[in-house]
Every structure is written in structure tokens, then in C-alpha cells.
Amino acid sequence: MKALGKLNFRDLGGIAAPGGKMRHGLVYRSEGPASFNELHHAELADLGIRLVCDLRSEEEQRTKPNDWAEQARFLSLDVLADLRNKQNGGWEKLMENPTVQGAREAMIYNYQVIPAALQPHLREFTDLLVGGTLPALIHCAAGKDRTGVLVALLLRMINAQEADIMHDYMQSARFGQNPANLDIIRGGFQRRLGFEPADEVLMPIIGVEPDYLAAAFEAIDELSGSLEAYFAGAGIDDAKRDALARLLLE
């Protein structure tokens, strides 16, 4: 995966959990199709992806469709938790306080609303995995925020260690390290919101920070009381989690 390896793309294989490690070649995470070219398409075809879990909004999907995976099943989860989307209150916070601190506060808000948006979809997502619709690719636009929370939840379902989950999440720093992505994000703010934050303000937005993912799990506790109750509220019981672990671990 020479071309894909230069993007925020990776196999979750090798992440440890009780009873083994994640099998390679079953679940991948990535940034979105706007970043793909013919070389990426060819490598994706070689992976034999059968399920594409797209966390982008309808507008994002319409603008940059997944036209590379005609044989795959698509699970579209319109998670409206993107700072550049006017339906999310995070952008208001950033416009009110367009500073580095304001950007971090907006990102924390962004992560806090993702779990509630994901919960109604978790059972369908999990059922598809348990049913063997694999290999699966999970992506949003940058592959770090919405994708980061869903992947973290998947790993918590099989009881992966928090430190290992955070380590995987922090690998998405590579998205922010690509200079081209700064221009893309800057242009997105201008088109959708009519203003361009300064580069130093954009850095916390295109990057990842431990506090962001921690904010998502704190929001779960506030929403449901505990992670177990959150999963139960999504229709995911211990039996389903055990089945998922048996499938994904070796």
C-alpha cells in the first residue's frame, strides 16, 4: 500500500485486546475519497473492501463520492459534527473566538457531539461486521475526528486498552502534517463560512490532541452514565461484543 500509506490510512490489524490482537486485513481507517487518485483506487481494489462506512455529510458525499468501490456495500452515517458545516454549533464558537484556544474549544465541542450522533447507527454498523461484511473501510473527510471516535468505540467494544486506542488515534497527526491539507481546510472555511482562520488557528483543527478523544468519552459518560450503558442504548449487548471480538481477534 505504497500510495495509501502516504495518506491518513491504516490497517487496524495488530492492536491488542483480551484474547489476542486485531486480525490484519479486516478493518481499515482512512481519510476520504477527495484524497484518492488512480493509484489509491488500484490499491483499494486489491484490498477487496466489502463495506464502506462513510461518516461524511450528504453534501460532502455528493461533492466527493465514493466512486471507486462499486462492488462494496455502503453504510452512510451522516454525522453532522464537522466544524465546516453550518449545522454544527462548533463553527459559531470559532467565529466568536478565532484564536488557537478558540479552535481547541471548538474541536472539543465537536468531539463532544459525535457520540450522540453515532449512537443510533452503531448497531447496524456492528451487525454488518459480525455478519461478515468484511473487509471494512471506515472514513470521513480527514479520517481523524468522526472516524477517530467510531474506531475508538469499535476498539472499546472488544476491550482494547485505552493507551492502545489513543496510540492509534494519535497516528492521524499525519493528516495535519501534510501541507496540502492546510490549504484544503482553509478553502473549506472560506467557501462554507465566509472567513479564513489564521494558519496558527487552523493547526489545532487539522491535527489531533488527546484531549479531543477524551472529550468524546467524557460526553458518553454524561449522555449514558457509562460506556457499557451507551453501548446497551445502541442495542449492543455483551453477546454481540463477544461475537465481534471472536471475529476480529486472532
The rounded distance, in Å, linking the Cα atoms of 212 and 230 is: 19
Residue 78 is predicted with a pLDDT of: 83
The yes or no reply on domain 4-248 and CATH 3.90.190.10 is yes
Domain boundaries, the chain: 4-248
CB 27 within 8 A of CB 128: no
What Å distances lie between residue 148 and 132, 160, 193, 199, 242, CA to CA? 22, 15, 24, 23, 22
CB 134 within 8 A of CB 27: yes
Is the pLDDT score of 195 beyond 80? no
Smallest Cα–Cα separation from 140: which of 183, 182, 198, 79? 79
Q: What is the pLDDT of residues 78-122, one digit of tens each?
A: 876 544 454 566 777 788 888 999 999 999 998 999 999 999 999
The rounded distance, in Å, linking the Cα atoms of 140 and 143 is: 5
Q: How many CA atoms lie within 13 A of 32 on its CB side?
A: 21
